[in-house]
Amino acid sequence: MPVLEELYDKANIKVFNIKLSAAESVKRNSGRRVCEANRHPIPNFPEYAGLTACPQDGSPLVTRDLDKPELIEERYRVYLRDTAPVLAHLAEHGYQAIEINGEQPIDKVFADINQYLQ
């Protein structure tokens, strides 16, 4: 962190923690798709439900093997075990994570993050 502080000044470094439950993570990630040609992500949102081709390149949409519910649950457990503790480490060094409700629509999550970057 000293390098970041030297480059950007501690006051300019923001830490965000986007909170999302395991159930919501499984729901969102197990239903998402990508386009076959270029892997453009297609989120699991109602407005994309009937889509069969990528809106960017027209290729068929596929579900990744990594987005099976049991694999998503395992990735969530790994996050809790290995990544979430980073927040405590950052707090020990004077960085308070800004909590963002990740259960909201993407545009609301974006707006909530953006308000802290103004």
Please, what are the domains in the chain? 2-117 (3.40.50.300)
Average pLDDT over residues 5-33: 92
Whether the predicted model's global pTM rises above the 0.85 cut: no
Q: Name 57's bridge partners.
A: none
Q: Which amino acid is at 20?
A: L
Choose among 83, 74, 84: nearest CA to 25. 74
- Label residue 34 by pLDDT band (50, 70, 90): very high
